[in-house]
């Protein structure tokens, strides 16, 4: 196994692989250590949401994912009758992509390897330690040998039972499961007419989603089984019985390839960083899988952390940058846990509960309400705190949708295409800024917006982060415009390593 690495990622699921892609793209020597020798064939998650799709678009990966999945212009909140409308959201990806997690993992692993990341399967992490200069990972190789690998950083993307989190002594407070539900990947001889179904009655709730020709994901929440322990095996007969009671038919269910029971345990790590050790994905936060948000939040963790770790390894990270990972992603996951807890509470099949569900469904019919909830589920409403050391601006911390730019030479270019190599973009809308292209990791773009809007009126220069959020912006009318630009560049770029 290659020992000369700068970053070790424990966990070779989609989150760990997404992070490996980001690090390897930036030239960081990266290895992924996965305990399992082969990828898991079944898929816990089935959907990629608009914000995740935007991130893939920023790296030029979107089309290869879209080609393997199916676009759905809506989502759901707690299986309510009124769907969330993604089609009108301010994004170039106004849809959910139905794509099994196994396929997402495969595409990310292929890309990570193509960038030079090493992916080692059958490597089980046993212990993680650190000192002021480096971190050590003790692991058991597939031949049973116990070995040690040294790196600058270690990231735990190893799930809810994270060995990395435990080794770092990071607390994982929250609540244990109070409700369980069941799922099965099965064949249906007589599926619903549209192939999809979302139904809630006094007898329980059912969701059916197509996986491949003839195969479906069936999720059942039965009021008679919500207290069934999570480790109690799900049976084919259980699913058939519950489907008949709730839907009047079992849809000809047969040939289960995966059966599982899951609960609403909700926990979040107190710290996402401990020195040279970081957490991402389920290692940092777990919750009831309502709205299909878990995988997406983990991939967004990886994108947020990747360019920051790369800057630290490459010596261009200011001292505060790595701490900003926790400061930005911990609140985002707190919001996620709140909305999944609310969705779980709405899964109530009593008469009063069904009336409340009906009222909430009516509220979602109002466009403003629908847009508000859709923004949460899609993660398009995530905005990071503005840099307190720079003058305030309404764009600071905002997520930028893709937009068309007219370059100084008259050519047209999409903003996201400028981010494909993972660098910062210094966007000068007045085309008169000094050339800062000599700053490592910074690309100068002189352009005009093809479709100016009120939000951008008077903006002179914007520093856009590698993840598409605004680091800072300044208006042409600012009395110290040039000074703010220079201070902002100095603030966000440094040759001093943060650790």
How many CA atoms within 13 Å lie on the side-chain side of 185? 13
Contact 246, 203 (CB under 8 A): yes
CB-CB neighbours of 17 under 10 Å? 29
SS3 assignment, position 113: helix
Each residue's pLDDT tens digit, 419-447:
999 999 999 998 665 667 668 788 888 88
Output the average pLDDT for the chain: 94
* Confidence at residue 494, expressed as pLDDT on a 0 to 100 scale: 75
Each residue's pLDDT tens digit, 132-148:
899 999 999 999 999 99
Q: What CATH topology corresponds to 7-175+267-378?
A: FAD/NAD(P)-binding domain (3.50.50)
User: Dihedrals φ, ψ of 23, to 5°?
Assistant: -70, -45
* Confidence at residue 216, expressed as pLDDT on a 0 to 100 scale: 97
Across-strand partners of 221? 205
Cβ-Cβ contacts under 8 Å for 155 (sequence gap 6 or more): 7, 8, 9, 10, 16, 19, 164, 277, 278, 279, 280, 305, 309
Q: How far apart are CA 54 and CA 292, in angstroms?
A: 17
Each residue's pLDDT tens digit, 39-55:
989 999 999 999 999 99
User: Quick one: how far is CA 64 from the chain centroid?
Assistant: 18
User: In 117-139, which positions are buried (b, 16+ CB within 10 angstroms) versus exposed (e)?
Assistant: bbbbebbbbeebebeeeebbbeb
Contact 499, 448 (CB under 8 A): no
Each residue's pLDDT tens digit, 328-348:
999 999 999 999 999 999 999
Average pLDDT rounded to a whole number, residues 272-287 = 98
SS3 assignment, position 168: coil
Counted residue by residue, the chain has a size of 499
User: CA triplet 60, 64, 67: central angle to 5 degrees?
Assistant: 140
* Confidence at residue 291, expressed as pLDDT on a 0 to 100 scale: 85
Contact 97, 295 (CB under 8 A): no
Q: How far apart are CA 5 and CA 116, in angstroms?
A: 11
Residue 498 has pLDDT above 60, yes or no: no
Dihedral angle, C-alpha 327, 342, 227, 160, nearest 10 °: -20
Average pLDDT rounded to a whole number, residues 471-480 = 93
User: In this structure, are strands 204-212 and 174-175 parallel, antiparallel, or unpaired?
Assistant: unpaired
Each residue's pLDDT tens digit, 165-207:
999 999 999 999 999 999 999 999 999 998 999 999 999 999 9
| Res. 448 pLDDT band, cuts 50 70 90 | confident
Domain 404-492 has CATH 3.40.30.120: yes
Contact 250, 240 (CB under 8 A): yes
User: In this structure, are strands 70-72 and 47-48 parallel, antiparallel, or unpaired?
Assistant: unpaired
The 3-class secondary structure across 204-242, one letter per residue, is EEEEEEEEECCEEEEEEECCCCCCCCCCCCCCHHHHHHH
Average pLDDT rounded to a whole number, residues 458-480 = 95
Beta strands in 12-123 (DSSP E): 30-34, 47-48, 70-72, 74-75, 84-85, 96-98, 118-121
Could you state, in order of their start, the residue ranges of all structural domains in the chain? Answer: 7-175+267-378, 180-263, 404-492
Each residue's pLDDT tens digit, 289-307:
988 899 999 999 999 999 9
Contact 83, 31 (CB under 8 A): no
Contact 280, 162 (CB under 8 A): no
Contact 262, 180 (CB under 8 A): yes
Each residue's pLDDT tens digit, 348-363:
999 999 999 999 999 9
**Nearest CA-CA partner of 70 in 195, 200, 224, 253:** 195
Rg of the Cα trace of the chain?
A: 24
User: In this structure, are strands 277-279 and 153-156 parallel, antiparallel, or unpaired?
Assistant: parallel
Contact 50, 72 (CB under 8 A): no
Q: Report the percent of the chain where pLDDT is more than 70.
A: 97
Contact 481, 377 (CB under 8 A): no
CATH number of this structure's domain 180-263, picked from the four choices 3.30.70.2450, 3.40.50.720, 1.10.150.120, 3.40.50.150: 3.30.70.2450
Encoding tokens for residue 275?
A: 């020195």
Across-strand partners of 60? none
């Amino acid at each position: 196994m290659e020992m000369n690495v700068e970053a070790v990622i424990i966990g070779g699921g989609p989150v760990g692989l997404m992070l490996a892609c980001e690090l390897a793209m930036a030239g960081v020597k990266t290895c992924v250590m996965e305990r399992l020798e082969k990828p898991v064939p079944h898929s816990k998650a089935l959907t990629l949401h608009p914000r995740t799709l935007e991130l893939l678009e920023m790296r030029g990966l979107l089309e290869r994912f879209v080609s393997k999945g199916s676009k759905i212009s809506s989502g759901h909140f707690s299986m309510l009758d009124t769907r969330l409308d993604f089609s009108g959201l301010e994004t170039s990806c106004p849809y959910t992509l139905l794509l099994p997690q196994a396929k997402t993992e495969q595409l990310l692993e292929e890309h990570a390897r193509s960038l030079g990341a090493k992916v080692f399967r059958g490597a089980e992490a046993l212990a993680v330690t650190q000192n002021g200069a480096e971190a050590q990972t003790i692991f058991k190789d597939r031949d049973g040998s116990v070995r040690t690998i040294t790196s600058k950083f270690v990231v735990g993307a190893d799930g809810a039972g994270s060995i990395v989190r435990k080794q770092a002594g990071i607390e994982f407070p929250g609540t244990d499961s109070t409700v369980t539900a069941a799922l099965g990947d099965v064949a249906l001889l007589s599926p619903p007419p549209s192939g999809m179904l979302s139904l809630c009655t006094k007898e329980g709730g059912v969701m059916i989603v197509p996986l491949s020709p003839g195969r479906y994901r069936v999720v059942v929440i039965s009021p008679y089984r919500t207290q069934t322990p999570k480790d109690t095996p799900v049976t084919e007969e259980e699913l058939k019985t519950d489907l008949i009671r709730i839907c009047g038919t079992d849809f000809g269910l047969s040939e289960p390839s995966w059966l599982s029971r899951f609960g609403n345990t909700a926990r979040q790590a107190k710290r996402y960083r401990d020195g040279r050790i970081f957490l991402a994905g389920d290692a940092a936060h777990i919750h009831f899988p309502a709205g299909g948000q878990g995988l997406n939040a983990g991939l967004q963790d990886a994108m947020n952390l990747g360019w920051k770790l790369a800057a630290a390894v490459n010596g261009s990270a200011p001292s505060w940058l790595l701490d900003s990972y926790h400061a930005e992603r911990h609140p985002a996951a707190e919001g996620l846990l709140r909305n999944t807890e609310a969705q779980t509470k709405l899964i109530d099949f009593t008469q009063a509960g069904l009336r409340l569900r009906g009222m909430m469904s009516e509220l979602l019919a109002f466009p403003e309400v629908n847009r508000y909830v859709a923004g949460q589920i899609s993660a398009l409403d995530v905005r990071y705190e503005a840099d307190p050391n720079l003058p305030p601006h309404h764009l600071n911390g905002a997520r930028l949708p893709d937009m068309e730019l007219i370059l100084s030479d008259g050519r047209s270019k999409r903003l996201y295409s400028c981010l494909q190599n993972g660098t910062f973009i210094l966007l000068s809308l007045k085309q008169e800024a000094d050339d800062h292209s000599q700053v490592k990791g910074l690309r100068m773009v002189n352009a005009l917006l093809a479709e100016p809007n009120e939000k951008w009126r008077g903006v002179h220069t914007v520093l856009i982060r590698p993840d598409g959020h605004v680091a800072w912006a300044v208006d042409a009318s600012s009395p110290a415009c040039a000074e703010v630009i220079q201070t902002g560049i100095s603030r966000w770029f440094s040759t001093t390593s943060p650790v």
